[in-house]
């Protein structure tokens, strides 16, 4: 556009629905967010946020999707064609009454009085949380590049999506760090693995069996075929690079461990589950951030110490589903170092494989002290270097063999 040469742009951080509300409030159309003349005045129930009975008729206060709250209206029950939203409304009401242990005093009756403010406040907060989690789920599934779906669930409290977390699919290197380096050639196999396939060229064993399950011991590296290899996408030595094959659910734990991750499908032993990604930073920067995270009770730093201790992965702000995987002293996932399009031993990719059969609905965990080897690092604070000594975080994994601390 001639008149906009030299202009710079700032990305809009407002939610899609917020922009729609602004358009409708000002009677404006905007094709890019789906507001046209044909639907400028359309109405769809987003959630229910109030209840009353007048002259024997039940009314619900309706929040209209894409409209500001100032346009909420009372609608008779007979006009509402949203059985799921009605069910959510009453479930949230009953949940509040149950938690407050005031059921008899607050049970809704069909008379002129409206619901008590505390009940309405809880119902509205739950409705807004449900909308926010649904939007977050949709955002996660738009950004992911793997096969499995991502679901989000919170039946524990009113916590919504994290405010300062950005989903990424691969390492986000800090300035000056190159995570794509060292690959100029690949194997010439037409049917991997052959005599000179990538693992053998690196002096290592092929990591996978014919069922594409891990067959090497913890501590040994995985070398997969890379972008220069002659083999195609169906090569049996391309596993981690294809991403998470399972549908997973980010859920709110009920024992104070925040968010967790559970699988929605059964997982066989020695199967690839997910990759641990985040910002790749120097160990010096990790030390600085670590002091801050310890004060917050967070643990997101993963040292890339396969060959040296120069770099760390920080999944606090940038990461994938692995950001939400909790620690356990008796985990069902094991850490492995993986090399694909980068042969720099200081910068392996971190893959999590199952250590045993995992049932659908079971929480996924790994040992935060496990650094891709047979044995975890010592759980003694004295084993840490002076620069690494920090406030210790109490472990809540509940395992019989719990060590008591995360670090």
Q: How confident is the model over 98-120, as pLDDT tens digits?
A: 887 654 544 444 444 678 899 99
Instruction: Report the b/e string of 145-177 with b at 16+ CB within 10 A.
Output: ebebebbbebeeeeebbeeeeebbeebbeeeeb
Q: Is there a single domain that holds both residue 311 and residue 341?
A: yes
pLDDT one-digit tens code per residue, 179-217? 877 677 899 998 888 778 999 999 999 999 999 999 999
Q: Which residues are annotated as a binding site for Zn(2+)?
A: 187, 189, 192, 197-198, 225, 229, 231, 235, 329, 395, 397, 402
Mean pLDDT over 131-159 rounds to 95
Q: What is the pLDDT of residue 388?
A: 44
Catalytic residue among 223, 276, 293, 306: 276
Q: What is the mean pLDDT of the chain?
A: 85
Q: Is there a single domain that holds both residue 128 and residue 204?
A: no
Q: How far is the C-alpha of 269 from the C-alpha of 356, rounded, in Å?
A: 4
Catalytic residue among 51, 167, 293, 368: 368
Q: Is there a single domain that holds both residue 132 and residue 203?
A: no
CA atoms within 13 A on the CB side of 324: 25
SS3 of residue 139 by DSSP = helix
User: The domain containing residue 313 runs over which residues?
Assistant: 146-366
Look up the CATH number of the domain holding residue 120: 2.40.50.40
Q: Choose the final residue of a domain: 88, 122, 138.
A: 138
Q: Choose the final residue of a domain: 366, 381, 400.
A: 366
Question: DSSP readout, 280-310?
Answer: EEEHHHHHHHHHHHHHHT---EEEE-SS-SS
Q: Is there a single domain that holds both residue 207 and residue 352?
A: yes
Q: What is the pLDDT of residue 41?
A: 62
pLDDT one-digit tens code per residue, 275-330? 999 999 999 999 999 888 887 777 799 999 999 989 999 999 999 999 999 999 99
Question: DSSP readout, 361-375?
Answer: TPBPEE-TT--SSSS
* Residue 34 falls inside a structural domain: no
- What is the phi/psi pair of residue 95, to 5°? -65, -45
Q: How crowded is residue 348: how many other Cβ atoms within 10 Å of its Cβ?
A: 23
Q: Is there a single domain that holds both residue 175 and residue 280?
A: yes
Q: Which residues are annotated as a binding site?
A: 187, 189, 192, 197-198, 225, 229, 231, 235, 257-259, 326-327, 329, 368, 395-397, 402
Q: Is there a single domain that holds both residue 82 and residue 160?
A: no
Q: Is there a single domain that holds both residue 179 and residue 98?
A: no
368 is catalytic: yes
Q: Is there a single domain that holds both residue 134 and residue 150?
A: no
Look up the CATH number of the domain holding residue 322: 2.170.270.10
Mean pLDDT over 332-360 rounds to 96
Q: What is the pLDDT of residue 183?
A: 75
Can you give the pTM of this predicted structure?
0.85
Q: How far is the C-alpha of 220 from the C-alpha of 365, rounded, in Å?
A: 21
Q: What is the pLDDT of residue 190?
A: 84
Q: What is the pLDDT of residue 6?
A: 47
Mean pLDDT over 37-47 rounds to 75
Q: Is there a single domain that holds both residue 197 and residue 88?
A: no
* Residue 25 falls inside a structural domain: no
List beta partners, residue 400.
none
Q: Is there a single domain that holds both residue 81 and residue 230?
A: no
Q: Is there a single domain that holds both residue 203 and residue 232?
A: yes
Per the model's pLDDT, the better-predicted residue between 56 and 5 turns out to be: 56
* Residue 11 falls inside a structural domain: no
Q: How far is the C-alpha of 228 from the C-alpha of 126, rounded, in Å?
A: 51
* Residue 170 falls inside a structural domain: yes
* Residue 59 falls inside a structural domain: yes
By the 8 A CB rule, do 116 and 105 touch? no
* Residue 384 falls inside a structural domain: no
85: left (phi over 0), alpha (psi -120 to 50) or beta: alpha
Q: What is the pLDDT of residue 184?
A: 77
SS3 of residue 185 by DSSP = coil
Q: Which residues are annotated as a binding site for S-adenosyl-L-methionine?
A: 257-259, 326-327, 368, 396
pLDDT at residue 369 is higher than 60? yes
Token pair of 208 as six digits: 């996978």
pLDDT one-digit tens code per residue, 228-239? 999 999 999 999
pLDDT at residue 23 is higher than 80? no
pLDDT at residue 385 is higher than 70? no
300 is catalytic: no
* Residue 28 falls inside a structural domain: no
Q: Is there a single domain that holds both residue 319 and residue 217?
A: yes
Quick one: 388 exposed, middle or buried, by C-beta within 10 A (0-12, 13-18, 19+)?
A: middle
Mean pLDDT over 225-253 rounds to 95
pLDDT at residue 376 is higher than 70? no
Q: What is the pLDDT of residue 373?
A: 42
Q: How crowded is residue 281: how many other Cβ atoms within 10 Å of its Cβ?
A: 20
Return the C-alpha torsion angle 67, 124, 298, 319, nearest 10.
Answer: -30
* Residue 388 falls inside a structural domain: no
Q: How many domains does the chain have?
A: 2
């Amino acid at each position: 556009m001639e008149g906009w040469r030299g202009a710079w742009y700032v990305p809009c951080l407002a939610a899609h629905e917020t922009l729609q509300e602004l358009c409708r409030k000002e009677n404006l159309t905007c094709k890019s967010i789906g507001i046209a003349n044909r639907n400028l005045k359309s109405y769809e129930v987003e959630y229910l946020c109030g209840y009353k009975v007048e002259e024997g008729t039940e009314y619900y206060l309706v929040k209209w999707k894409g409209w500001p709250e100032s346009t909420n209206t009372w609608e008779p029950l007979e006009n509402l064609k949203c059985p799921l939203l009605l069910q959510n409304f009453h479930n949230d009401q009953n949940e509040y009454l149950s938690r407050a242990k005031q059921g008899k005093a607050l049970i809704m009756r069909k008379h002129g009085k409206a619901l008590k403010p505390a009940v309405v406040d809880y119902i509205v907060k739950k409705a807004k949380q449900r909308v926010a989690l649904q939007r977050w789920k949709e955002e996660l599934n738009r950004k992911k590049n793997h096969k499995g779906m991502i679901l989000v669930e919170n039946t524990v409290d009113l916590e919504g999506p994290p405010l300062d977390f950005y989903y990424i699919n691969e390492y986000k290197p800090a300035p000056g760090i190159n995570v794509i380096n060292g690959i100029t050639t690949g194997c010439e196999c037409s049917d991997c693995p052959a005599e000179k396939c990538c693992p053998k060229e690196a002096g290592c064993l092929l990591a996978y069996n014919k069922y594409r399950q891990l067959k090497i011991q913890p501590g040994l590296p995985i070398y997969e075929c890379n972008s220069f290899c002659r083999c195609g996408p169906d090569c049996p030595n391309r596993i981690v690079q294809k991403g998470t094959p399972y549908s997973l659910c980010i859920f709110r734990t009920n024992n104070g461990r925040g968010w967790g991750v559970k699988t929605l499908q059964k997982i066989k032993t020695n199967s690839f589950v997910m990759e641990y990604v985040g910002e790749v930073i120097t160990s010096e920067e990790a030390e600085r951030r670590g002091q801050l995270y310890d004060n917050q009770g967070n643990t997101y730093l993963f040292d890339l110490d396969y060959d040296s201790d120069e770099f760390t992965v920080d999944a606090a702000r940038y990461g994938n589903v692995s950001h939400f995987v909790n620690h356990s002293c008796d985990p069902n996932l094991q850490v492995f170092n993986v090399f694909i399009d980068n042969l720099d031993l200081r910068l392996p990719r971190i893959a999590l494989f199952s250590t045993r059969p995992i049932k659908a609905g079971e929480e996924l965990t790994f040992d935060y002290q496990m650094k891709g080897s047979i044995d975890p690092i010592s759980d003694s604070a004295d084993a840490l270097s002076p620069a690494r000594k920090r406030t210790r975080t109490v472990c809540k994994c509940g395992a019989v063999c719990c060590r008591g601390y995360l670090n």
